[in-house]
Amino acid sequence: MTNIFLRVPLSEKMLFAKHLSIMIRSGMSILDSLWLLKKQAKTRSFKKILDQLIVDVDNGQFLSVSFEKYRSIFGEFFISIIRVGEASGTLADNLNYLHEQLRKNYELRRKVKAAMIYPVIILVATLGIGSILIFYVFPKIMPIFKSLKVELPVSTKILIALVNFLNNYGLWVIVGLIIFIIIFFVLLRIKAVRFLQHRLILTLPIFGRVSTNVNMTAFARTLASLLKSGIKIVDAILITSNTMPNMVYQRELKIIAERIKSGETISQYLMEQKKFFPPIFAQMVEVGENTGRLDENFIYLADFYEAEVDEVFKNLSGILEPIMLLIMGSMVGFIAISIISPIYEITQGLNLK
């Protein structure tokens, strides 16, 4: 089984770090701990990885060196924390710290998914109701309209044209949508296209702010963790860049690393790029650089922006609810009016007679 087919859920990585930390603290060797963790592993992929870790550690390799084989699965941040822990003799502490960071990332992902449940339900309900009206109710009424030969309202004509189009070309529309989705996801594999998509997200109302706050949280928390672990600032920023959710920020952090090499401070660049980094973020970084407490200030910033993200997600349903209801009401209302209007006109005509 190659690394391409190996998948380890974030929750399992989180538990691995926590349990290994506890086992090492209790005096167990890393090898014995890995054997025990293998028995507790929930996924086949992770058991396969642990098999290789056990072989490597038994042959005298460092745990971090063995994890290097699975860099695409665990990431640079995960491996770097373990490597520094092994080098400094604080592996148990570093693993516990790693668990905390993974747990916070897990919670953040869970909040994002939870916030999107309501809009998806409303969208599915809208499409469901619309489909019933268009494909079940309307076709049964349409022959009556044709037989009476009355002048139909514009909305009804539009709806009839839509129904006829879907009846004649519905299969091609479905095939076209499938092809479009496939092409879309294939294009997203191209870095330049994905970069443009991430740049576009940052310009969107509501979602742009959420994306910025999520990236500020990831930037501050990851960099704080690496600095506390003793990793040099340039290396820490480069590692952090690879963990950023948005490719725009990945590029920005790599530029920051190059600027630091040429003698600049982090805050100098952050202040230049106000469209990507909020002023308060840059100011707090500058204070941390001046006082020598940069890691502490990054922890504060991580907590601050995480609270901002939490607040937005709490209010997201309230923000999206009227928008989704308006879309749903407009769509269903248009279909209902298109069906009811001609019936009303026919009824009025019969009353006049």
Task: Give me the pLDDT at residue 1, please.
Answer: 46
d(CA 314, CA 294): 30
Cα 138–chain centre separation: 40
Q: Quick check: 288 pLDDT over 80?
A: yes
Structure tokens at 158: 């539009």
Residue type, 69: K
Question: Exposed, middle or buried: residue 151 (CB in 10 Å: 0-12, 13-18, 19+)?
Answer: exposed
Average pLDDT over residues 276-285: 90
| Stretch(es) of the chain classified as CATH 1.20.81.30 | 3-104, 106-353
pLDDT digits (tens, 9 = 90+) for 296-330: 898 889 888 888 877 777 776 667 777 777 877 78
CATH of 3-104, one of 3.40.50.2300, 3.40.30.10, 1.20.81.30, 3.30.565.10: 1.20.81.30
The answer to whether 152 touches 160, Cβ cutoff 8 Å, is yes
The pLDDT assigned to 179 comes to 94
Q: Which residues contact 151 (CB under 8 A, 6 or more apart)?
A: 345
Predicted TM-score of the model (pTM): 0.68
Angle at Cα 133 formed by Cα 131 and Cα 135, nearest 5°? 60
d(CA 165, CA 13): 51
Averaged pLDDT, 125-145:
75
Residue 54 has pLDDT above 80, yes or no: yes
Q: How far is CA 77 from CA 98, 119, 129, 256, in A?
A: 9, 33, 47, 18
Q: DSSP labels for 153-199? A: PHHHHHHHHHHHHHHHHHHHHHHHHHHHHHHHHHHTTSHHHHHHHHH
Under 8 Å CB-to-CB from 133, ≥6 apart: which residues?
A: 332, 335, 336, 339
Least confident range of 47-56, 106-115, 286-295: 106-115
DSSP string, 61-100: --HHHHHGGGHHHHHHHHHHHHHHHHHHT-HHHHHHHHHH
Task: Please give the DSSP secondary-structure letter assigned to residue 144.
Answer: H
What CATH code would you report for 106-353?
Answer: 1.20.81.30
pLDDT in tens, 227-274: 877 788 898 898 888 878 888 999 999 999 999 988 888 998 999 888
pLDDT at 55: 92
> Tokens at residue 351, please?
């009353």
Give the H or E element holding residue 151: none
**What percentage of the chain has pLDDT greater than the value 90?**
12
pLDDT for residue 109 is more than 80: no
Structure tokens at 162: 């839509």
- Over residues 206-227, the mean pLDDT reads 84
